[in-house]
Chain A
């Protein structure tokens, strides 16, 4: 039996998220500078329902647009929705979690009550209702996705804050005359950061998936081309019936790869290190 020698750089890559950072980097580049890598401008039309060939690697859609170009331009909308919904959710979750964990008492009761209510709301049906009721636009989508995904962050942050606020260094910070605000900024947030990052990344990933589901149901901004909307278009305009896999499969693969890369980067602090305990 021959032993396969795995090169050391490849071995290292298994434990570091380098590969995932490169993948995410490519998508972010595509989102910021789509012009530099897309083969055509998104307004040029060719003959519709074209099969993949040397001019159009992924063929053309029902309107005659180049699918690769659409795919590259759609990266921006998908990422924007994910990142902004993630930031919104992180901000709300962290503030509520820290406030209730740090002050405890009635503040904690009230905020955790609100969190419980948000937690039991069935997310997707309510999001569909809101998106259908309001004029669908990317910003409303971001706000709705952000507003319905902070509660788990708040729970985790609250638990961590309660643990740290009783630790010796917070007590000594109080004894050195620091205000509660500066204790939160300098002592609590930096220490819970390793918990915040994976929560943030997971929220981005789940917001992107939710966006795709909503787009597929036709509830996204009709003017904004995202990966979810590309799949929906392929479904509505005959891509599935004609078995044009090059139309609906690439956006789905891009989606999966991005979500996987983001999730793996979020686990950056979970690698092979012993659990850190702050007493």
Chain B
């Protein structure tokens, strides 16, 4: 296999929402490079802009948003493409998996039709092989009887089955990059294991996975690289094992200490509102190692020991 190359290269991505004349900077100067065949996890608490990044990659943001910076997917700038070319990328090259799979399926069609239509639009396989292709995808997603599963309606299936059906639809199109946006939100442990298995399947097929989650345990088992976000910016990024075993940024440390197995110590306070960001470091008010400098000047993202950290202490 040839050496890994960046399949997705995001540089200086800034996203601002305009709402009633108020500017809300949801994401500021986000840069990230995702290598072919790896799993990158973006973690952070709710409202830190993780999902906005995922939506920006597929240009799904609402009209009141302003996007600056570049997103380069396989040498194509996503924001320079016209709508028709983008439609051929959506699904076929980049697949996205949303939270709550029950809502992602059209309630009035059988699974077979929902799997057939995308194959028909993107012409992934010749017409006569489509049925076999669908059955193969369903088996891969964990349905033991694909003929029966294809005839089901989404309301016949449990949440886990729908999750596997969504995975089957996305994987049947053979995308190079799969984005999973909070796939485990609000699920119990056994369901999370189901989803983890389907995500492992993505990696198993040498596809690239971008995992957006606040489930640190899931990120720990799946990811090769981790990007930690706080209030719209990257605070720490680097290899998953290194970051999770020895976190450097106070916020990452706080996140890991707030896990139940590490003593369940939550970070005091809450994230600053995006409409009224502090002048200095955005984490300063909640940081236990805060200095005078932190309140005055925003920290820059610097490279330390093979990872990127945004903190004045480094």
Contact = CB atoms under 8 A, between A and B. Distances in A.
B and A form one assembly:
yes
Interface of A: 105, 167-169, 171-179, 182, 186-187, 190-191, 278-279
Contacts of A171: 60, 98, 104
A178 B103 contact: no
Interface residues of B, number: 30
Contact of A167 (B90, B103, B118): B103
Contact of A175 (B58, B84, B103, B122): B58
Contacts of B87: 177-179
A177 B169 CA distance: 12
A177 B103 contact: no
Is chain A's binding surface mostly helix, strand, loop or mixed?
A: helix
Given A182-B121, A190-B108, A174 B60 contact: yes
A177 B106 contact: no
B90 A174 contact: yes
A177 B121 contact: yes
B173 interface: yes
Contacts of B96: 172, 175
B91 interface: yes
B196 interface: no
A175 B91 contact: yes
**Most B C-beta atoms less than 10 A away, residue of A105, A174, A182, A191:** A174
B54 to A, nearest CB: 10
Nearest to A178: B121
Nearest to A172: B104
B107 A175 contact: no
Contact of B100 (A168, A175, A179, A182): A168
Given A178-B118, A191-B108, 15 more contacts: A169-B103, A172-B105, A173-B106, A175-B96, A176-B90, A176-B95, A176-B169, A177-B87, A177-B91, A178-B117, A179-B87, A190-B109, A191-B106, A191-B107, A279-B103
Contact of B90 (A105, A177, A191): A177
B91 A278 contact: no
A161 B214 CA distance: 33
A69 to B, nearest CB: 46
B161 to A, nearest CB: 16
Nearest to A164: B106
**Most A C-beta atoms less than 10 A away, residue of B98, B100, B108:** B108
B89 interface: yes
Interface string B98-124: 101011111111000000011001100
A166 to B, nearest CB: 10
Interface in B29-88: 58, 60, 63, 84, 87-88
B167 to A, nearest CB: 12
28 contacts: A105-B63, A168-B98, A168-B104, A169-B104, A169-B107, A172-B98, A172-B105, A173-B106, A175-B58, A175-B90, A175-B91, A175-B96, A176-B91, A176-B173, A177-B88, A177-B91, A177-B92, A177-B118, A177-B121, A177-B122, A178-B87, A178-B117, A178-B118, A182-B121, A190-B109, A191-B107, A191-B108, A278-B107
